[in-house]
A and B are shown apart, each in its own frame.
Chain A
């Protein structure tokens, strides 16, 4: 009967319930010709993208247009949260020096110390992830731009010499492919649905498009890890990302926005720890309980 599907086993949960060892069964040996801090920073970038996106998506819980969409949005947030947890754990293992120091005897695990005890300037996510939420069209556009790029990245990262990154990518590429298809479908529906839905969609696209270029920008860390066969140089998949987005726009009858990329500050962008004003507010909320109890057990 259906007991596999509906029984008490953990597989019925989107996230599973076996959280204790996020890297169980994977070879966690470090590749020896990579600078440990570079690997840690690379993992933090990928982790923070997922974590902050997940935080924004989960703001929709109990607010979706229909119950079915509420369940779907929570699944997306759970997938990204799972990716973030694995990647933060990998960053901590690669270089413990990136993990904030907590009081002696604190039971907080390193991945939680990274998520809840870093300040905004230490987060390395792209700014697209942190922009405050808008309407449902805003959710769809952000998710489309994000997941199209992340899917291309994860697909290539499956071949990483770092076994943990390869494993995270292999699992994540399936998840993010679904996110991409889900958001592309909604993009099409909103573009062709009603006059209002189209107007809202295009407005969200105009707002978010300037953040898109940051997703495919190559920084020094990306380049170093790509050279070592551990990471991926985003410029190698920028064309693929562009092609997918072009197809979605064409099918939906939406023109590619004309606005150029959002400038950084002195050339520094989200990956360099320079963010929008929204991130520290997001973190103030996300971290408030954890920071009030640095010795707390949860």
Chain B
């Protein structure tokens, strides 16, 4: 059997040539732990992320929008499922991961601790929140851990669709009544800064970024992705006819990029601490669904045990 040093050398070599680590490969414990944390957080975000948009399914104002929204929130359940499966290849169970979400030991994206207050928020979440998510996620299709990268490929394909439906909803509303246009602008004003926060704290205060990049788990820094998102979004906002609520947002010809203001990081840390507008509500909803479903899961297991050969 090869020794620890051989294993480490092989692992380093795979990472160095940008190849993929697969479930049965040897990997350093810290790499495994970092991946479990990141993939689980991502999976939790998909599952909790069903709630803010799901809040509007019952009230969607047209049959077409109802179908789109329901299908979209359904996709998020699917994404959570793909990601939990990817995490399970690292030797943790879905039950364990869900327990860590419900006990608050693992986090989910803070954006979902903001409320959805009008139907325009469905569009804004698609455009800005899914747009930010795509910026974060596209590089992860090339992440060093195979199952995670493959889950991300499926997810990115569906998410780009999500972003388009959101933008299309906002475009349609902007062609509607003055009240609808106000609704869109008000929604964009509320979601702009939380969307920028989705890329995480500035690089200088993001302790894990450097190591995750060295391991190829993360491919770009928080600030790089945030910049990319702003540069991508500004022309889309112009095309839509909405303003972005940042007085210092300007084109910097020297850099070939936009300058922009800083989100309120104190607010982000408050939300991460659990003091966001909806933290308690989101977790309570999830916990209730999990507890209410326990008897169903048990019934299915009991039925399966009876059906198994030798048990019937």
Whether A and B touch (Cβ < 8 Å) is answered with yes
CB nearest to B298 among chain A residues? A194
A68-B81, A74-B77, A81-B66 known; A62 vs B285 contact (CB < 8 Å): yes
CB nearest to A107 among chain B residues? B176
A71-B77, A297-B175, A297-B176 known; A58 vs B58 contact (CB < 8 Å): yes
- Report yes or no: A65 in contact with B54, Cβ–Cβ below 8 A: no
Task: Please report the C-alpha to C-alpha distance between residue A194 and residue B303 in the assembled complex, in whole angstroms.
Answer: 8
Residues of chain A at interface, number, CB under 8 A = 60
CB nearest to A114 among chain B residues? B63
CB nearest to B81 among chain A residues? A67
Task: Please report the C-alpha to C-alpha distance between residue A7 and residue B153 in the assembled complex, in whole angstroms.
Answer: 10
Which residues of the partner chain B approach A288 to less than 8 Å between Cβ atoms?
Answer: 59
Tell whether A196 is near chain B: CB-to-CB under 8 Å.
Answer: yes
Complex interface: stretch among B25-33, B67-75, B255-263: B67-75
- Report yes or no: A63 in contact with B61, Cβ–Cβ below 8 A: no
Indicate the member of B59, B70, B80 with the most A CB atoms within 10 Å.
B70
Tell whether B302 is near chain A: CB-to-CB under 8 Å.
Answer: yes
Measured CB to CB, the closest approach of chain A to B118, in angstroms, equals 8
- Report yes or no: B293 in contact with A64, Cβ–Cβ below 8 A: yes
Tell whether A261 is near chain B: CB-to-CB under 8 Å.
Answer: no
A61-B50, A71-B81, A296-B180 known; A12 vs B64 contact (CB < 8 Å): no
Measured CB to CB, the closest approach of chain B to A196, in angstroms, equals 5
Tell whether A182 is near chain B: CB-to-CB under 8 Å.
Answer: no
Task: Please report the C-alpha to C-alpha distance between residue A288 and residue B57 in the assembled complex, in whole angstroms.
Answer: 12
Q: Which of B64, B157, B300 contacts A189 (CB 8 A)?
A: B300
A189-B299, A297-B180 known; A65 vs B173 contact (CB < 8 Å): no
- Report yes or no: B302 in contact with A193, Cβ–Cβ below 8 A: yes
Which residues of the partner chain B approach A295 to less than 8 Å between Cβ atoms?
Answer: 176-177
- A-B pairs with CB below 8 Å: how many? 171
Task: Please report the C-alpha to C-alpha distance between residue A278 and residue B10 in the assembled complex, in whole angstroms.
Answer: 65
Which residues of the partner chain B approach A126 to less than 8 Å between Cβ atoms?
Answer: none
Q: Which of A17, A74, A136, A293 contacts B70 (CB 8 A)?
A: A74
Write the A227-239 contact mask toward B (1 if CB under 8 angstroms, else 0): 0000000000000
Measured CB to CB, the closest approach of chain B to A82, in angstroms, equals 7
- Report yes or no: B65 in contact with A298, Cβ–Cβ below 8 A: yes
- Report yes or no: A293 in contact with B67, Cβ–Cβ below 8 A: no
Measured CB to CB, the closest approach of chain B to A50, in angstroms, equals 11
- Report yes or no: B175 in contact with A285, Cβ–Cβ below 8 A: no
A78-B67, A81-B67, A194-B299 known; A65 vs B58 contact (CB < 8 Å): no
Indicate the member of B54, B158, B161, B172 with the most A CB atoms within 10 Å.
B54
- Report yes or no: A13 in contact with B71, Cβ–Cβ below 8 A: yes
- Report yes or no: A112 in contact with B70, Cβ–Cβ below 8 A: no
Write the A180-197 contact mask toward B (1 if CB under 8 angstroms, else 0): 000000001110111011
Measured CB to CB, the closest approach of chain A to B75, in angstroms, equals 8
- Report yes or no: B54 in contact with A293, Cβ–Cβ below 8 A: no
Task: Please report the C-alpha to C-alpha distance between residue A71 and residue B34 in the assembled complex, in whole angstroms.
Answer: 29
Measured CB to CB, the closest approach of chain B to A298, in angstroms, equals 4
B84-119, CB < 8 A from A? 84, 119
Q: Which of A58, A71, A112, A196 contacts B62 (CB 8 A)?
A: A112
CB nearest to B48 among chain A residues? A62
- Report yes or no: A298 in contact with B172, Cβ–Cβ below 8 A: yes
B269-312, CB < 8 A from A? 285, 288-289, 292-303, 306
Task: Please report the C-alpha to C-alpha distance between residue A136 and residue B65 in the assembled complex, in whole angstroms.
Answer: 26
Which residues of the partner chain A approach B77 to less than 8 Å between Cβ atoms?
Answer: 62, 67, 70-71, 74
Measured CB to CB, the closest approach of chain B to A264, in angstroms, equals 27
- Report yes or no: B73 in contact with A74, Cβ–Cβ below 8 A: yes
Q: Which of A70, A88, A196, A197 contacts B63 (CB 8 A)?
A: A88
Which residues of the partner chain B approach A64 to less than 8 Å between Cβ atoms?
Answer: 289, 293
Which residues of the partner chain B approach A189 to less than 8 Å between Cβ atoms?
Answer: 299-300, 303
Task: Please report the C-alpha to C-alpha distance between residue A7 and residue B289 in the assembled complex, in whole angstroms.
Answer: 32
Tell whether A178 is near chain B: CB-to-CB under 8 Å.
Answer: no
- Report yes or no: B67 in contact with A193, Cβ–Cβ below 8 A: no
- Report yes or no: B293 in contact with A286, Cβ–Cβ below 8 A: no
- Report yes or no: A115 in contact with B173, Cβ–Cβ below 8 A: no
CB nearest to A19 among chain B residues? B64
List 6 additional contacts besides A112-B64, A298-B62; criterion CB under 8 Å: A55-B58, A74-B71, A88-B63, A190-B299, A193-B300, A194-B302
Chain A contact residues, CB within 8 Å of chain B: 6-8, 12-15, 17, 19, 55, 58-59, 61-71, 74-75, 77-78, 81-82, 84-85, 88, 107-109, 111-112, 115-116, 135-136, 188-190, 192-194, 196-197, 200, 285-286, 288-290, 293, 295-298
Task: List the 7 closest A-B pairs by CB distance, nearest first.
Answer: A193-B299, A65-B293, A197-B299, A297-B176, A74-B74, A65-B296, A290-B61
Q: List 23 A-B contacts (CB under 8 A).
A: A12-B158, A14-B74, A15-B70, A62-B73, A62-B77, A63-B289, A64-B293, A65-B293, A66-B297, A67-B84, A74-B74, A81-B67, A82-B67, A85-B64, A135-B292, A193-B300, A193-B302, A194-B298, A196-B295, A289-B60, A293-B180, A296-B173, A296-B179
